[in-house]
Amino acid sequence: MPELPEVETTRRGIAPFCEGQTITGIAVRDGRLRWPVPDNLPELLEGGIITEVDRRAKYLLIRVSGTAVSGTLIVHLGMSGSLRVITDTSEPLRHDHIELTLLSGVKLRFNDPRRFGCWLWSETPDSHRLLASLGPEPLAPEFNGPLLYRQSRGKQTPVKSFIMDNHIVVGVGNIYANEALFKAGIHPKRAAGRISLSRYHRLATEIRETLSMAILMGGTTLRDFVNSDGKPGYFAQSLLVYGHGGEACQECGMTLKEIRMNQRTTVYCGQCQR
């Protein structure tokens, strides 16, 4: 599944082509996504101007004004979706379910083979049910060690599950949780409430740095992910533990252990992580 760095990479890729542009058409070839695409979406969007392409957690927020009703397109890439900028006359692919045409001639195509993504419309996105209860952004100033420490008190939840909870902090998906916990030297099964403030300081720093580096490198290429120009990300080449179960730890040489937690692959070093 595309995680926060992949979504942020997509946002940065499409924003220069979209912001300030008028929407001249929208083709919904298959609206049967995770939630049905609104039937009146073309009516809402055509003639509107894209004022900003934003992101909240793993949702892209395409803000539109100047239509009959101004609002925001809430787009999620789902399990294997991608949003590509098309500047030529290439024909849509089989799973190109939605296409947004701009006055410049550029088209924005949404490809989603599994149809787990979404295209929804909201006039008040901050209060939308998908966004209203989300925690802070991991790259925002308000995300820090003290916040994690306060939220974790009394919790017996494994710390890996704790930092992947979108009510605590958004966008720390499985891959990046594995990596940040390894860099912070924290065992993924350790109870969240039994971790000190100083260790949460380090974990918050490692989460921020891991995600920032992944964004700079264009995300992690796993299965179907490609960014907005169709090129893959390269952060997978820098992964220290994820995907390396059974191999030697790069820090101490011990064999990395691989287990399942909440049906997710978890890789850690029993020597380096306590």
Q: What is the pLDDT of residue 69?
A: 77
Fold adopted by 145-268? Helicase, Ruva Protein; domain 3 (1.10.8)
Q: Per the residue annotation, which of 3, 137, 179, 206 is the catalytic one?
A: 3
Burial of 79: CB neighbours in 10 Å, binned 0-12, 13-18, 19+: middle
Q: What is the pLDDT of residue 245?
A: 97
Q: What is the pLDDT of residue 236?
A: 67
Q: Which two tokens stand for residue 85?
A: 């900028």
Supply the pTM of this predicted model. 0.89
Contacts of 230 (CB under 8 A, 6+ apart): 82, 84
Q: What is the dihedral of CA 155, 160, 166, 167, to 10 degrees?
A: 10
Q: What is the pLDDT of residue 230?
A: 58
Residues of the chain with pLDDT under 70: 1, 67, 219-237
Sign of the Cα pseudo-torsion (128, 133, 139, 142, in order): positive
Q: What is the pLDDT of residue 231?
A: 57
Domain boundaries, given as residue ranges, for the chain: 4-127, 145-268
Q: What is the pLDDT of residues 200-246, one digit of tens each?
A: 999 999 999 999 988 887 755 433 344 555 555 556 668 999 999 99
Q: How many residues does the chain have?
A: 274
> Residue 119: phi, psi to the nearest 5?
-130, 105
Q: Per the residue annotation, which of 11, 58, 183, 199 is the catalytic one?
A: 58
CATH superfamily membership of 4-127: MutM-like, N-terminal (3.20.190.10)
Q: Which two tokens stand for residue 151?
A: 């939220």
Pairing of strands 118-122, 96-102: unpaired
Active site residue 2: yes
